């Protein structure tokens, strides 16, 4: 009988808890992502999930040239990888403006852009760009219903877009709208909600065009609404989680058939009761902002989380008797993005054996 796909033959060499990546499955997820989009040119994947230069290289190898990121550290990593087109999806405030300009100077082969929703921020960007003798590409961030960032489509948005278009030092990149509030399990409901949320966005795009203001592109959505945004011809799609996948999204969106490509390797460190195991998988190794269960064990599927602290996770299971202190369990995180950020390096598995370690290059911050 062959071993399960997730088992690691040389796990004895790995100090736990550890992040484990399966590049074969990552490659499969990238192929599925391109298949949904229809063309790599339609994609601007968000790299906040994996934060890995090696995965960026895999994406580049498949013809993906445009990327979205959340932090300056992620933008810097993309510059190091010679990514051609990088969107920083965070309004630069305070010293972040000068850090952004530094990235533009250090990585001239990367076409950086930034997302903005505030006139004062735009004015400061323009002033800094003029002083540096450069031009900054700017996306106008729109609030299409999430109410986290962005300006509502309407006259205020037209005014800000006109400001970007007419101000020296700034160049219009297009519109950005993230619909993170849309997360219904039913794909048809998601589609209806997405179309409703983007009706004002499309109306704004038409209005800007009628005013003679070019809209080169619209960057839209995340993983849940990715298949919807892949249908209209003008949107750039920004899925992120689907590259690694997690059970939170797998449970909520069964129509998205991606594969688990990032696991956590953990060990039993104590057996406090016959049906109870204590694992070395605490808050510092797996994202803990979600309610339990925060992981799902592939080789102990009936496990119930009963206690979680900084360094330990206590579980109960009728199958606990099968495990001894030192034995390994393999876990899929509920939320993979912040889980990856807790690990400095990931162990890379091919055909059941660890063959490499990849640095999670952008897990930190530029200070």
Nearest to 110 by CA among 137, 139, 86: 86
Question: In the chain, what are the domain boundaries?
Answer: 11-19+261-359, 24-242
Give yes or no for a contact between 60 and 88, defined as CB atoms under 8 angstroms apart: no
Segment 311-360, tens digit of pLDDT: 999 999 999 999 999 999 999 999 999 999 999 999 999 999 999 999 99
CA distance 33 to 45: 9
What was the pLDDT predicted at 364?
A: 84
CA distance 137 to 147: 24
Mean pLDDT, rounded, for 100-114? 97
Alpha helix ranges (H) inside the chain? 23-37, 53-61, 72-80, 96-106, 119-132, 155-166, 187-210, 226-229, 247-252, 336-340
**CATH architecture under which domain 24-242 falls:** Alpha-Beta Barrel (3.20)
CA distance 30 to 22: 13
| Confidence bin at 367 (pLDDT 50/70/90) | low
Element (H, E) at 114: strand 111-116
Percent of the chain whose pLDDT exceeds 70: 99
Instruction: Return the CATH number of the domain spanning residue range 11-19+261-359.
Output: 2.40.37.20
Phi, psi for 85 (deg, rounded to 5): -140, 120
Tokens of 97: 């403006």
Mean pLDDT, rounded, for 165-173? 97
Kindly state the DSSP code that residue 224 receives in the 8-state scheme. Answer: T
155-190 per-residue burial string, b: 16 or more CB within 10 A, e: under 16 = eebbebbebbbebebbebbbbbbbbeebeeeebeeb
CA distance 94 to 106: 20
314-329 per-residue burial string, b: 16 or more CB within 10 A, e: under 16 = bbbbeebeebeeeebb
Please report how the helices 72-80 and 53-61 are oriented relative to each other, as an axis angle in degrees rounded to 10.
Answer: 50
User: pLDDT: is 366 or 251 the higher one?
Assistant: 251
What was the pLDDT predicted at 233?
A: 75
End-to-end Cα separation, the chain, in angstroms: 52
Indicate whether 243 pLDDT > 80. Answer: yes
Segment 71-96, tens digit of pLDDT: 999 999 999 999 999 999 999 999 99
What was the pLDDT predicted at 217?
A: 96
Kindly state the DSSP code that residue 47 receives in the 8-state scheme. Answer: T
Segment 275-298, tens digit of pLDDT: 999 999 999 999 999 999 999 999
Coil/strand/helix, residue 24? helix
**pTM metric for this prediction:** 0.96
The mean of the pLDDT values for the chain is: 97
């Amino acid at each position: 009988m062959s071993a399960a796909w997730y088992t690691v033959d040389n796990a004895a060499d790995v100090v736990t808890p550890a992040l484990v990546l399966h590049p074969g499955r990552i490659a499969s997820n990238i192929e599925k992502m391109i298949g949904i989009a229809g063309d790599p040119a339609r994609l601007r994947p968000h790299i906040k999930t994996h934060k890995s230069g090696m995965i960026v290289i895999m994406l580049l190898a498949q013809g993906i040239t445009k990327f979205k990121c959340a932090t300056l550290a992620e933008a810097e990593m993309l510059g190091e990888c010679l990514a051609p087109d990088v969107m920083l999806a965070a309004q630069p405030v305070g010293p972040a403006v000068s850090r952004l300009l530094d990235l533009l100077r250090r990585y001239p082969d990367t076409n950086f852009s930034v997302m903005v929703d505030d006139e004062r921020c735009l004015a400061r960007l323009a002033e800094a760009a003029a002083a540096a003798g450069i031009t900054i590409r700017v996306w106008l961030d729109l609030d299409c219903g999430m109410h986290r960032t962005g300006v509502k489509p309407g006259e205020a948005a037209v005014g800000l877009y006109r400001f970007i278009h007419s101000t020296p030092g700034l160049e219009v990149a297009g519109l950005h709208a993230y619909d993170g509030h849309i997360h219904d399990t039913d794909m048809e409901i998601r589609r209806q909600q997405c179309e409703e949320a983007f009706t004002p966005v499309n109306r704004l795009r038409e209005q800007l065009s009628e005013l003679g203001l070019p809209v080169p592109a619209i960057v839209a959505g995340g993983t849940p609404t990715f298949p919807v945004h892949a249908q209209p011809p003008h949107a750039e799609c920004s899925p992120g989680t689907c590259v690694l996948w997690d059970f939170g999204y797998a449970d909520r969106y069964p129509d998205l058939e991606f594969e688990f490509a990032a696991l956590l390797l953990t060990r039993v460190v104590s057996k406090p009761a016959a049906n109870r195991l204590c694992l070395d998988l605490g808050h510092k190794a797996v994202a803990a902002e979600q309610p339990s269960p925060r992981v799902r064990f592939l080789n102990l599927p009936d496990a119930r989380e009963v206690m979680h602290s900084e360094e330990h996770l206590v579980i109960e299971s009728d199958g606990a008797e099968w495990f001894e202190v030192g034995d390994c369990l393999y876990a899929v995180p509920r939320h993979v993005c912040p889980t990856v950020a807790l690990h400095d390096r990931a162990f890379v598995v091919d055909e059941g054996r660890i063959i490499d370690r990849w640095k999670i290059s952008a897990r930190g911050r530029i200070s």
